[in-house]
A and B are shown apart, each in its own frame.
Chain A
């Protein structure tokens, strides 16, 4: 565990907290993609199956359970909460799951370290996490007024990705057997998806304006 990874995890946790607070405090999930949130829940379920058979540290197990619980809590609010679900932009959030899940599953079946059920599911979760933000980015492009909490949520997620890349560079330099090309390539793709968003986020932040993405 190094400082970069700790920062990455904290940004990840903070992004989820910001989103949960937004939903609970404003009783609204406007601008948030349910598709992205459900994909993240799927990512966590596939990746953290190892909670049942391997133990790394109290920190890891605690964070895994927290990520699972918060992901399902967000999905529950958006799908079933009587007030919150009415604020969901159903008509705008049209990204098709199958376009993301099918290629990731195929890729995980072909490109993996070991052909076992848990390893393939783990690899699938790595690939899926890389692209799960796409429905959210598409939704933000369609929504004209992006509220600050939504913009900050995505920015915090981007910061989490950035710090994980620093963590991998650090581990690559300091650990002899750190050759994680599956994680590397997916991670770089995932972070690159945020580059465009960050460009406009920085522009609006500098001009002290509300975030607006060009159509």
Chain B
């Protein structure tokens, strides 16, 4: 999940 973290920002 390379980009899962960026999607939790606004």
Q: Do A5 and B9 touch across chains, with their CB atoms under 8 A apart?
A: yes
List residues 1-10 of chain B with CB under 8 A from any CB of chain A.
1-3, 5-10
Q: Which of A1-17 contact B (CB under 8 A)?
A: 5, 9, 12
Least CB separation from B8: chain A residue: A56
| In the complex, A77 has a CB within 8 A of chain B | no
Q: How many inter-chain contacts with C-beta < 8 Å in the A-B complex?
A: 33
Q: Is the interface of A mostly helix, strand, loop or mixed?
A: helix
Contacts of B10 in A (CB 8 A): 9, 12, 60, 63-64, 67
Q: CA of A157 to CA of B2 in the docked complex: distance in angstroms? A: 28
Q: Is A179 an interface residue (CB 8 A)?
A: yes
Instruction: Of the listed stretches A22-30, A88-96, A170-178, name the one at the interface; the rest are far from the partner chain.
Output: A170-178
Return the chain B residue nearest A167 by Cβ: B9
Q: Report chain A residues within 8 Å CB of B6.
A: 180, 182-183
Question: What's the Cα separation between A5 and B6 when bound, in Å?
Answer: 12
Whether B5 lies near A113 (C-beta < 8 A) is no
The answer, among B2, B3, B8, for a CB contact under 8 Å with A60, is B8
Q: Which residues of A contact B (CB under 8 A)?
A: 5, 9, 12, 50, 54, 56, 60, 63-64, 67, 113-114, 119, 122, 164, 167, 171, 175, 177-180, 182-183
